[in-house]
Amino acid sequence: MMKTRQWQQRAIAAALVLACAGALAQQKVDLGKREFDNNCAVCHGREGKGNGPYVEMLKRSPPDLTTMAKRNGGVFPVAKSYEVIDGAGTGHGTRDMPIWGMDYSVKAAEYYMDVPYDREAFVRGRILSLIEYLNRLQAK
């Protein structure tokens, strides 16, 4: 009787997991857009044109992110974008933009508090998702 009940509970749990996985598979999650909307849009605007709601509070206007490739000879600057977002090379003058690499590291530590994880892979994944989205925003 006890084994039958455990088997039923496991079957129900498996069915729920499969149902949820199916529902999630149908929803396309755009990780890069989510990163942009959560971290960048307040300054750079929803379309990335540098006209976000915080612009009036900033010392300098944020750049138009839709022209990054155009300003770089038609090639999207992946490595430079990564450095700016991550905060690498911050010793070269002042920096108005937040250091997202550090922020992502803190969030990873909070999220994976009791579980082993690769901090660098977590941060790299979030930054690369954002860069991929920025590349899609480029003006044609």
pLDDT attached to residue 19 = 61
Does the structure show a pLDDT above 70 at 20?
A: no
Does the structure show a pLDDT above 90 at 21?
A: no
Closest CA to 78 of 140, 125, 135: 135
Does the structure show a pLDDT above 90 at 34?
A: yes
Mean pLDDT in residue range 104-128: 79
pLDDT band at 114 (very low <50, low <70, confident <90, very high): confident
pLDDT band at 102 (very low <50, low <70, confident <90, very high): confident
* Model confidence, pTM: 0.71
- Segments making up each domain of the chain, as ranges: 29-136
Exposure string over 85-124, b if 16+ CB within 10 A, otherwise e: bbbeeeeeeeeebeebbeebbeebeeeeeeeeeeeeebbe
pLDDT band at 91 (very low <50, low <70, confident <90, very high): very low
